Structure 1
Amino acid sequence: MKRVRASLIGLVVAASCGREPTTPVTQPVTPPAQQEMPTTGTGMPGMTSFDQRVRDLMRQYGIPGGAVALVRDGKLIYARGFGYADAENKTPVQPDALFRIASVSKPITSAAIMKLVEDGKLGLDDRVAPLIADLKPAPGAKVDPRWEQITIRHLLNHTGGWDRDKPNGGFDPMFQSAVAAAAVGAPAPASAETIIRYMKGMPLDFDPGTKWAYSNFGYDILGRVIERLSGMPYEEFVRTRVLQPAGANRTRVGKTRMKDALADEVRYYYPGAALNWPLVPSVFPGEGIVPANYGGYYLEATDSHGGWVSSTVDLLRFLTHVDGRASPADILSPQLVAEMTGSGATTCPDGSCYYAAGWWVRPGQGDATWWHGGDYPGTKGMLVRSANGFAWVALFNAGAPNSLVNELDAALWNALGVITSFPTHDLFSSFR
């Protein structure tokens, strides 16, 4: 194969993973001694070195388990699990194990919004305020008049008016559950709707459309727009109109508590640390101190910006049905794929990429590379559609810096660069 490099190295900006809730580190992380690392799934000729590099990186970053899968020209040619889904019981990760995907959820929500556009129920430049007028702020709270300027496009592109990183007072309301609930007199933990009511009583940080600032909250609002215009719960609409038509039948919105985990869902860890470390106050009143990855934030309220649980296989099923390529057939029209990925605010330091509607996009090679990352306490993921016909996804059950993704990306393209003949099989039918 003539090697065509589509690496993201140097372009996976910090915001690409959403920089979800952080937890204070109270002791240094030391990767555990790990002599064995099981590998599941069918190997691909020429990628033995890549398999080993994945295992090496997981040891380096103290990650118990992960899964990586690769598509070429719409066919799943590689899907493997590495390490442990349950480290205590030595349960290996299967290639189609389920993981929290955090902000990799945003492309899913974007596709659902495009389905409403396709149905004629919504325009991307429609104002948001009338669509969520039923969500009232706390009694006596003053609503910033700039709410009336916010459009669907602003929310999709992170230009709605909220800046969680502003100096002296920036915050992400999606992880202020107790504060939001108390502010509007609603039950804790705060639902997605409660957080919107709370934020309606807070001033915007900038005029809508004038600045790019990554906003989980904007995608929270998009989830409620989907509910109001479809007449269906967010998860039901997305599964019915986006995921199931793409064959991604096992992808669901996750649950906060470990006891409510989905069948085949991995356990979540901290790099080199035990399951129950660090401990934080639970978002559920009266539950006391809990592991941050199982109660430090309310996963259900993050549904439309970070709440989905999926597998590498399901995510590639979704991606290959919205990627603008001929096979398999997309669930969106070419016009809507172009709307979803065609323009946005420049975000990469070198000016080579922009954030479109739920995707970072870097034009090149007569096409474009799209990607999105995700981070929560206990999980890290990355979904990539390259400009040269490949797509890949990696999911891990512990957090890690973006250097892991950069190194994994480099290892993958190095492995592909020496392959002269690719498999003709399609493994999608091998998985549920």
Structure 2
Amino acid sequence: MTVSRRAFAKLVTAAGAGALGAGAAAAPATATVDTWTTTGTTVSALSAFDDAMKSFMQARNIDAGQLAVTYQGRLVLARGYGHNSPMPIQPTSLFRVASLSKSLTAAAVVRLAQDGKLSLGDPITKFLDLTPPAGQSADPRLAKVTLWRLLQHTGGWDRDLTAFDPVFKDRIIADALGVPMELTHSDVIRFMSGQPLMHEPGSTVSYSNYGYLLAGRIVEKVSGLPYETYVKQKLLAPLGITRMGLGWTVSRHAGEVGYRSQYTGPTVLDNSGTVVDAPYGTFSIHIHDANGGWLASAVDLVRWATAFDTGSPVLNSTSIGRVFAVPSPTGVNADGWYYGLGWAVRPVTGGTGRNTWHTGSFAGTYSILVRTYHGMSWAAVFNQRDDESGLSYAPIDSALWTASRAVSSWPTHNLWSTYFA
């Protein structure tokens, strides 16, 4: 496994990197009065977290953010933050979370295995029709793409070598197939079934949104339910999570924030070529459902993270072991981490023996979810990933780790009942 952590950060936060293309920059919004608002319970012992979020958001002119923190199984902080925001950002406001969705999709497949509906060693060809367009041939190595390999990003697709992430190439696929936009999952699968794999399956780690698109279709095929319905029923409901759901490309759910980007681009929702704000139509949330389509609040995300704790009502110990298993033969990379099933994993000494995390990014979205080896977790979400300052969003990772180390005494309260029935 040769992908560095820096490269991984680029990969897992680039769920939406291809959506902008050569879109033009829109005029940035400006505020005449600088205001900072917070919602949720103030916890003085955890003020370092509030300070980290304020500094991060103000430097990048982010107007909506959220943070939730757990310690030893207790929800100790749940906050909404607004910087010149037109409306208060609540701890329960919904945000697109982009590639954090992959942990849900991987867990859905693992749950199906737990229930005896499939085996992770099954080839994807057992479940999916991978018939290519007329006149093209399918790569025979597709039969070697198992569910393990699909979810560990070792299926053989490589967007870096091809500069082609199919979930962001709507126009190319529509033109090649002679179909109108908005594309369907079947359109993307038919097109990609005629494309050669770039690597022998199992040999190389290369982040693949397309692989998770396929995983979502396998969940539907095996369960007999729509992907969203299965996830809600089998994974979220047992944890008391009711707010989460798949997002919409243009419309917003009740309680969902608006999204900001300095970029525009042509819509992929039809063939009109209309130029739209990047978060609202330069990519299709419908296509991205299983690799990046979920909405959540930060408190929902840290609640979801408990699905991977001992005693989980969702996944048993065997399933959790599968999620965090070291991929074979690629193993742990030179930077000391590997990609499990929907999570990045860094083996460490003590506690659970691992830190696990994922990030997500679309035009208008940046998110991070972290589970630490010694019993903490946190999630932060924002309603943009770019601004005129050009600052990276990756430093939120180290900023929140630094905030956690600044806590001298963790509070004993538990806020779960405030946000979950």
In structure 1, stretches of 5+ residues that fail to align are 1-8
* 1:211-222 equivalences in 2 (<5 Å): 211-222=204-215
**Pair 1:284 & 2:270 matched:** yes
Q: Does 1:419 align with 2:415?
A: no
Q: Which residue in 2 is equivalent to 1:205?
A: 198
How far residue 280 of structure 1 moved from its aligned partner, in angstroms, is 2.8
Distance 1:237 1:165 in 2: 32
| Corresponding letter in the other structure for 1:69 | A
- The structure 2 residue matched to 1:150, chosen from 139, 142, 145, is 145
Asked whether 1:165 is paired with 2:125, we answer: no
| Contact 2:15–2:209 (Cα < 8 Å) also in 1 | no
SS in 1 for 2:173: helix
Whether 1:225 and 2:208 are equivalent positions in the alignment is no
Q: Gaps (5+ residues) in structure 2? A: none
Equivalent position of 1:316 in the other structure: 302
SS state at 1:122 partner = coil
User: Is 1:404 aligned with 2:393?
Assistant: yes
Q: Which residue number corresponds to residue 297 of structure 1?
A: 283
Kindly state the Cα deviation for residue 321 of structure 1 after the two structures are TM-superposed: 1.9
Who is 2:339 aligned against? Answer: 355
Distance change in 2, residues 1:157/1:10 (3 Å): closer
What whole-Å deviation, never above 9, does each CA across 1:197-254 have from its counterpart, x for those lacking one? Answer: 1100111111111111000000011001101000111111111111111222111111
Distance 1:347 1:172, change over 3 A: farther
> Alpha carbon RMSD of aligned pairs, Å?
2.3
Residue 338 of structure 1 corresponds to which residue in structure 2? Answer: 321
SS in 2 for 1:54: helix
Letter in 2 for 1:159: T
Q: Is the contact made by 1:64 and 1:83 (CA closer than 8 Å) also made in structure 2?
A: yes
- Contact 2:62–2:384 (CA under 8 A) maintained in structure 1: yes
How big is the shift at 1:310?
A: 0.9
- What does residue range 102-117 of structure 1 map to in structure 2 within 5 Å? 102-117=98-113
Out of 12, 15, 21, the position equivalent to 2:17 is 21
Query: Structure 1 residues 315, 17: closer, same or farther in 2, change over 3 A?
Result: same
Matched, 1:365 2:349: yes
Mapped to 2, the partners of 1:14 and 1:357 lie a distance apart of 18
Cα offset for 1:186? 3.9
Q: Deviations over 1:12-42 (max 9, x none)?
A: 6322324423424645997956621111111
CA spacing shift, 1:139–1:267, aligned 2, 3 Å: same
Counterparts in 2 of 1:106 and 1:100: CA distance versus 1, 3 Å: same
Hey, what does 1:54 align to over in structure 2?
Answer: 53
Taking a change above 3 Å as real, the CA distance of residues 55 and 346 of structure 1, as seen in their structure-2 partners, is farther
Structure 1 residues 402, 155: CA separation in 2 closer, same or farther (over 3 Å shift)? farther
In structure 2, relative to structure 1, the CA distance for the partners of 1:194 and 1:12 (3 Å cut) is closer
Worse-superposed segment, 198-207 or 214-223: 198-207
Which among 59, 71, 92 is matched to residue 88 of structure 2?
A: 92
* Partners of 1:302 and 1:202 in 2: CA distance: 20
Distance 2:292 2:267 in 1: 21
Give the 5 Å matches for 1:183-262.
183-257=176-250, 260-262=251-253
Q: Secondary structure at the match of 1:301?
A: coil
Alpha-carbon spacing, 1:243–1:399, altered in 2? closer, same or farther (3 Å): same
1:55 is displaced (CA, Å) by 1.3
Q: Which amino acid aligns with 1:370?
A: T
Counterpart residue number, 1:431: 419
Q: Is the CA contact 1:101–1:380 (under 8 Å) kept in the aligned structure 2?
A: yes
**What's the secondary structure of 1:195's corresponding residue?**
helix
What is the SS of the residue equivalent to 2:36? coil
Deviation per residue, 1:86-114 (Å, 9 max, x gap): 94xx1021111100010000001011011
| C-alpha deviation, 1:413, in angstroms | 3.5
The amino acid of 1:245's aligned partner reads P
When residues 393 and 294 of structure 1 are mapped into structure 2, their CA distance, relative to the original with a 3 A threshold, is same
Relative to the length of structure 2, the TM-score reads 0.90
* 2:159 counterpart SS class: coil
Counting only pairs closer than 5 Å after superposition, residues 45-84 of structure 1 correspond to structure 2 as: 45-83=44-82
Distance 1:21 1:13 in 2: 12
Q: Distance in 1 between matches of 2:397 and 2:74?
A: 19
- Paired positions, count: 406
Give secondary structure in 2 for the equivalent of 1:60.
helix
